[in-house]
Each structure stands twice: as structure tokens, then as C-alpha cells.
Amino acid sequence: MTIGITDMAARLVKVPGVVGVMLGGSRARGEHAPDSDWDLGVYYRGPLDMERLRALAAEVVGGPVEVAGPGEWGPWVNGGAWLDVDGQAVDWILRDVDRVRAVWEDCRAGRYEVGTQAGHPLGFWSPCYVGEVALGRVLADRGGELGELRAEAGRYPEPLREALTAGVVWEAGFLVSNAAKSARRGDVLHVSLSLSRAVGLLVQALFAHHRRWCLNEKGAMAAVAGMPDTPAGFAGRAESLLGELGAGARELGERVARAGGLVDEVRAVLAG
């Protein structure tokens, strides 16, 4: 790229309202492929100078580009830009640093939210805000605030672990129980939605059990497969379950029973 990521972050932090920039995603964790996006979390406070931000984006890509302000993308991933810089994808993701701090306080108290957000089929889990900071790399930090928050988030809160493992597995079991009734009626839509969410919830519970931040569903199944205490063959069994759902009452019922087995095994892991 004609402009390096570090230089880009240094210029972003000069935009009025921006307090810091973090590298996130697979590149921050060292798990990226050559064509992986560069994800930059642009942390701001108060009014953000969108004209300056759009001007910088246009300068970086060499022409006009759309930059969404706070609230334009939704309630959680609330704005940013998808840039093409010399053929390399660079994403700017806006984050309200005061809201991130509020979520961090909730996490430490064992509270979390799951909100609706485009692109997040399992919903947007509020602890993701903190996980992004804990797993990210600070590139620019005007007052040192991001560095301090990252240090705090390095330890997974036990109250959050307890809340997630208890509440999430309960919901997974409830979903499977309801799916069993729909399976007898051959209701493929309800069964498929219920089981996919139940599996996603079990993944969330296993991340919490191992005191690891789960940022989204991408790659999460593979990650839990390598964690200790995860039920034997969990990932393969879950993937087979969702990939071969079937259509008739008998097939659907058999899949629901298999899902129930996964719930019971994860519950046993958490209890142990």
C-alpha cells in the first residue's frame, strides 16, 4: 500500500473526536492470510469530525469514498468505511470509547446484551467490544486510554464467565426443547433456526468457560475444537448436524436429539 497502516492510524488520530486506533481481527492476532483485511477500530468520543474523516478516506484511496457516521450502520457496529487501498481491503470500524467502557463495567458485573446487528446472524454480543480491545493491538493512542483499557481487559471477568455459561446453556436447552415439537410437525424453518442458534450459544459458552473472548461466529467453531474440556468431536458433530438437517419429521427429530446430546455434554463440561 502507498500508505502504511501505522501512518494511517497516526493520521486518523488527528481527526477531531478520535482518541485512538487499534488493529483488530486476524492481523492483530497473527492468524491472517495474505489477502486478509486490515481492520482498524477507530475509537472516538463526543462529536466526530466526519468531514475530516471523509477527506482523509478520499485521500487514502485516491477518490471519493463513502464513510458512514455514528448510527448509520446500526446500533452496535455503528459506522465506518470499507476502503480499497491499492487493492488491499482496509476497514475502518467506529467505536464509541465511552460505550466500550460502559460495556466493560457491565462485563465485570456479570451483565451482557445481545443486540440485533446486520452481518451478525447470532446477534451482536456486547462483550465483543471488550474482546476487541483485549485482543487488538494499539496503533495510536492520543491520551493512553486504549492502552489502559487493554491492560484491564487482559483478565477475563469471572462474573461474566458465570453469567454466560449459565444463561447461554439454559437458552440452548430451551431452544432444543422447542425444536423437538416443531420437528414432529416437519417445520424445517423453525428447527433449523433453533438448532443453529443453539449450537452458536454452546460455542459462546465454551469460549466463556475457557475465559476467552468470542468476537463473532467466524472461525469460532474451529477455535473451540482446539480448547481443552471441549466435548470430544464437538465441532465435527455440530457441523454434521447443521449441514445435514433433513426435511421429514423423522430426520428432523433425529437431528434434534443429537443437538440435545451436545447440550448435555457441554452442560456437563461446565458443571465439572
Residues 6+ apart with CB under 8 A from 232: none
Q: Supply the CATH classification number for the domain 5-152.
A: 3.30.460.10
The boundaries of every CATH 1.20.120 domain in the chain are 158-271
3-class secondary structure, 212? coil
Round to whole Å and give the CA distance between 99 and 85. Answer: 30
Q: Is 71 left (phi over 0), alpha (psi -120 to 50) or beta?
A: left
The H-assigned helical ranges of 122-157 are 127-135, 145-152
Distances in Å between the Cα of 160 and the Cα atoms of 20, 105, 214 are 26, 10, 12
pLDDT of 248 reads 85
Q: Quick one: which H or E segment has residue 94?
A: strand 88-96
pLDDT at 107: 98
Q: Which residues pair with 124 in a beta bridge?
A: 115
User: What's CA 193's distance to the chain center, in Å?
Assistant: 19
- pLDDT score of 207: 96
Q: What is the pTM of this model?
A: 0.91
Per-residue model confidence (pLDDT) at position 32? 74
**pLDDT for res 2:** 52
| Residue 166, pLDDT score | 93
Q: Which residues of the chain fall below pLDDT 70?
A: 1-3
Q: CATH 3.30.460.10 in the chain, residues?
A: 5-152
Other beta carbons within 10 Å of 114: 17
Region of residue 196 (phi > 0: left; psi between -120 and 50: alpha; otherwise: beta): alpha
pLDDT at 242: 86
DSSP assignments along 181-204, one per residue: HHHHTT-HHHHHHHHHHHHHHHHH
Q: What is the model's pLDDT at position 56?
A: 96
pLDDT reported for residue 3: 66
Note the CATH number of domain 158-271: 1.20.120
pLDDT of residue 152: 95
Are the beta carbons of 243 and 260 closer than 8 angstroms? no
Residue 27: predicted pLDDT = 82
End-to-end CA distance of the chain: 50
